[in-house]
Each structure stands twice: as C-alpha cells, then as structure tokens.
Chains A and B, each alone.
Chain A
Amino acid sequence: MSETPLDDRELRALMTQYQRADPPAVEELVRRISPPLLRYFGASRVDRNDAEDLLQDCWIRIHRSRHTYRASEPVMPWIYAIARHTRLDAYRKRRRMESREVLVAALEERFHQSVPKAAPEPDAIEHLVASLPESQREVIVMLKVSGMSLEEVAKATSSTVGAVKQKAHRAYATLRRALGKDREK
C-alpha cells in the first residue's frame, strides 16, 4: 500500500470536510493518517495485533472528538494527542489486568533488569528505548518515529517546548550512557 506524504494544508482541508460528513474525506484521512499512527503504536512496546487494536480504538476516539478540531490548528498534534490518550488508557487497563496476576510484577522487574545488559545489536536500541521512563520514551517515539517537531510534540503531550526538550535531553543522556556501557563490555 503506497503512503502519501502528510501535507498539513491538505489534512486541514480534509478534516474540515470530515466535520461536514464527507465520506471521501474520511477515506482519504484514514488512508493517510493510519500508517504513521500504526508506527506510533507499534513503537510502544505492543505486538502487531495490539497495535492494530489501538489504531482502531484511536480512530473511534478521533471520530467522537472530531468536533474539537479547529481548522486554524495543525492536524497532526491534534491526532497524536488523541493517539497518546488511547495508548495511555490501554496501558493503564493492561496494568490493572496484570496487577491481578501474581507473577507479573516479578517478571517485569526481571525484564527491566535485563535491559541494560543488552548487547548493541540492531534491536538493542529498541530495548534501550523501551527501558526509558514512559514520558521520555514517548517524546523519543514522537520525535524519531513520528518525525514531529518539538512544538508539535509539546502540543500533542499538553506540555511546553522547554519540558519536551528537557525530556529528550534526559532520554539522550540515558541512551548515551547505556550505549557506552555496552561498548565497554
């Protein structure tokens, strides 16, 4: 399936048509926005099926919230803000379910302890990113995987550019240290 680059002016026009209940605009929006959304969910420590479930859940939330989009604002921060809440709610739900299982906490602890020992293989960086605190990992995923600007990440996370920069800086410092340790071994 070919992926059309995201042009904000076109997306704004499509969103306005979507608010007016134009079916082709819905089809086009789903076609253009779903691939980056799937990548965003895929980079969030979930398997392919869960990422697809999150994508569908996210589209239902976008649909319910479509009246909150304003044509004067860029589309993608609005979309990612909804995607972020979809992911967080799913994460909390999963945590609640996991907390009912006796062994999960111990297993998770073992997983996190094993992360820094990972060798700098091609997928090591994925494990290192996965081991970052939630707020830092989210910023790295949005900046690197979703290709968003600092300003867009700040809007999507209801934060400020300064706070995003600080989280990215801390994440880089942690990743740099972890990669350095890997080299020394």
Chain B
Amino acid sequence: MRNHPRDADLERHLDAWAASQAEVELSPEIQRNVQAILKRSLTPVKPLPSHGRLVLAFLAVFAVGAAGLIAIMNQAGAHLMTEAQIAGMVAILACGGILFSLLIAWQMVPGSRQGLPLSLVLALSGCGVFGGIAVLFPWRTSHAFVSEGWPCALMEVMIAVPAAAVFWLLARSGALFGGAGVGAALGGLAVVLALAVLQFQCMFQQAPHLLAWHGGTAAILIGLGALIGEVTPVYLRAGRYAGKAT
C-alpha cells in the first residue's frame, strides 16, 4: 500500500485528516444519556453458544426436517434413482446444507471471521446442484413438461417457506444485521432441505425437469429470500433481547 513514491505525501494528508477527526469530543450529556438508557434495561444475558454448536444446531434441524419429511411423504423418486444418483445428490445437498449453516452461523455474530463469502457459497451450491443434476440424470423430456413440473415447484415452495421460518426462528437468537445476505442464506438452507425432500418424492427424474422445476424454483426462492431480508425493517431483524433494551 505504501510502495508508491507519492504515498508518503498521501499518508501525510490522511494522517492530518485522521488527527483532525480525533479532535471530536463527546459531550458528557450524551455519554450520561447513553449510560442511563443502557442501565435502565440491564439484565444478565447468556452468551451465544460457540460457532460450531450453532452450525450443528442448524444441521440437526436440517437433517431431522429432511429425514422426517422424506419418511412421511411418498418415496417414488428413490425407487426411480440409481445408487449413484442417490449418493451423488445426497452428497451435493448435504454439502449445501453445511455451507449455508456455516454462513448463517457467521452472520449471527457481528464481527465474525467470514470463512467464505455469500457469493462463493451461492456459486458453489448452484454449480453443485445444477452440475450434479446435469451429469447424473438422463436428458429426456416428456410432452407434459409444464403439467408435470408446476406441482413440483409448488411443493418446493410449500416445504421451503415453513423451513425458512423455522431457520429464521433459530437464527434470530443472534444479531441479524445482514439484510439481503441473511435472507439469501436462510432461503438457501430452506431450499436445500426442500430439494432433498423433492428428490426422493418426485416421479420425474430427468435432467430438464429437475433443472427447470426444482433448480429454477430454488434459485427464485433464494432471490426472494434476499429481497425479503433487504426490505425487512431493522426491528424485525434484531435479536431476542430487542424488547428489553428500549
């Protein structure tokens, strides 16, 4: 950063500017006011569990939710898939679940070291799901592409929306300031859960159907999650102690 010959001059300007900012003094009245507000609602709080335990909590809900729904619903898709297809899709969706759980746990704690940026998690998950389907499933399509597809899309929405609500309830014990990032991460985890359930339930195990109706709906739902996260007012994103602070 400081290798350029003109940087010494720039550093001098920046240091002078930083020093001028340091002259700003806090009025005692403001300080007393802040102290009074905080002391008025001061109650002991239990610190959040470690990052690893948060991730495990999300993964446990994800696994129990997916396994429970697969067990309850019909498993026509499981009988139509080969062992390689089942193993491949389970591995891809499990990785997606782990990545989105990590992402949400990072977003719950301000100032956490972000191991992977959201864009990378979205890209990896997208490549995994779309690439996996394209490689593992046959490229056949039927004449009833639309009439076979929309019930799957509807089912995905019906699973993903309540799942996202459950994940949000878990995540809001943290401090969710992330906006679109949090919305996309919560939407991503819910969508991966819905994809896992649909994969075992769907009778149309062909690449065009899975890409368009399962993958396409997943992408739209994640985008919708990001949008909802962005427009959700701050007070809804605040943690469980929000009511006690003011």
| Chain A residues near B22 (CB-CB < 8 A) | 39, 145
| Complex contact B111–A172 (CB within 8 A) | no
A136: shortest Cβ distance to chain B, in Å? 13
Known: A55-B34, A59-B37, A64-B238. A172 touches B21 (CB 8 A): no
| Chain B residues near A168 (CB-CB < 8 A) | 1
A16-55 contacts to B, CB under 8 A, are 19-21, 23, 26-27, 30-31, 34-35, 38-39, 42-43, 48, 51-52, 55
Stretch at the interface among B42-50, B123-131, B159-167, B198-206: B42-50
Q: Is A60 an interface residue (CB 8 A)?
A: yes
B181: shortest Cβ distance to chain A, in Å? 8
| Chain A residues near B110 (CB-CB < 8 A) | 65, 68, 78, 81-82, 85
| Complex contact A179–B1 (CB within 8 A) | no
| Complex contact A30–B31 (CB within 8 A) | yes
| Complex contact A19–B113 (CB within 8 A) | no
| Chain A residues near B111 (CB-CB < 8 A) | 73-74, 77-82, 155-156, 158
Q: Is B145 an interface residue (CB 8 A)?
A: no
In the assembly, what is the distance between CA of A77 and CA of B113, in Å? 10
| Complex contact A145–B38 (CB within 8 A) | no
| Complex contact A70–B47 (CB within 8 A) | yes
| Chain B residues near A61 (CB-CB < 8 A) | 175, 177, 238
Interface residues on B, range: 35 or more
| Complex contact A26–B30 (CB within 8 A) | no
Interface residues on A, range: 35 or more
In the assembly, what is the distance between CA of A57 and CA of B195, in Å? 41
Known: A81-B111, A125-B17, A179-B9. A21 touches B44 (CB 8 A): yes
Q: Is A159 an interface residue (CB 8 A)?
A: yes
| Complex contact A55–B30 (CB within 8 A) | yes
In the assembly, what is the distance between CA of A39 and CA of B23, in Å? 9
B152: shortest Cβ distance to chain A, in Å? 35
Known: A55-B30, A67-B48. A169 touches B1 (CB 8 A): yes
| Complex contact A129–B47 (CB within 8 A) | no
A110-126 contacts to B, CB under 8 A, are 120, 122, 125-126
B30-86 contacts to A, CB under 8 A, are 30-31, 33-35, 37-39, 41-48, 50
| Chain A residues near B113 (CB-CB < 8 A) | 154-155
| Complex contact A39–B34 (CB within 8 A) | no
Interface string of A131-166 (1 = CB under 8 A from B): 000000000100011010000001110111001010
B195-231 contacts to A, CB under 8 A, are none
In the assembly, what is the distance between CA of A147 and CA of B18, in Å? 9
| Complex contact B45–A125 (CB within 8 A) | no
In the assembly, what is the distance between CA of A35 and CA of B34, in Å? 13
In the assembly, what is the distance between CA of A108 and CA of B75, in Å? 59
Known: A21-B44, A26-B39, A68-B239. A122 touches B26 (CB 8 A): no
Known: A60-B246, A82-B110, A125-B14. A176 touches B6 (CB 8 A): yes
In the assembly, what is the distance between CA of A129 and CA of B37, in Å? 34
In the assembly, what is the distance between CA of A23 and CA of B7, in Å? 46
Q: Which of B4, B21, B43, B173: most chain A CB closer than 10 A?
A: B21
A53: shortest Cβ distance to chain B, in Å? 10
| Chain A residues near B42 (CB-CB < 8 A) | 21, 23, 26
In the assembly, what is the distance between CA of A34 and CA of B29, in Å? 12
What are 19 A-B contacts with C-beta separation under 8 Å? A1-B28, A1-B31, A19-B46, A23-B39, A42-B21, A60-B245, A63-B245, A64-B238, A64-B241, A65-B110, A67-B46, A68-B175, A71-B47, A120-B13, A125-B17, A129-B17, A145-B22, A165-B1, A176-B6
- The 10 A-B residue pairs with the shortest CB-CB distance, nearest first, are A65-B175, A81-B110, A85-B177, A78-B111, A81-B111, A77-B111, A67-B45, A125-B13, A144-B18, A21-B44
Q: Give 12 new A-B contacts, CB below 8 A, not counting A20-B44, A26-B42, A67-B173.
A: A30-B31, A30-B35, A39-B21, A39-B22, A56-B37, A65-B110, A78-B111, A82-B110, A122-B16, A155-B112, A155-B113, A158-B107
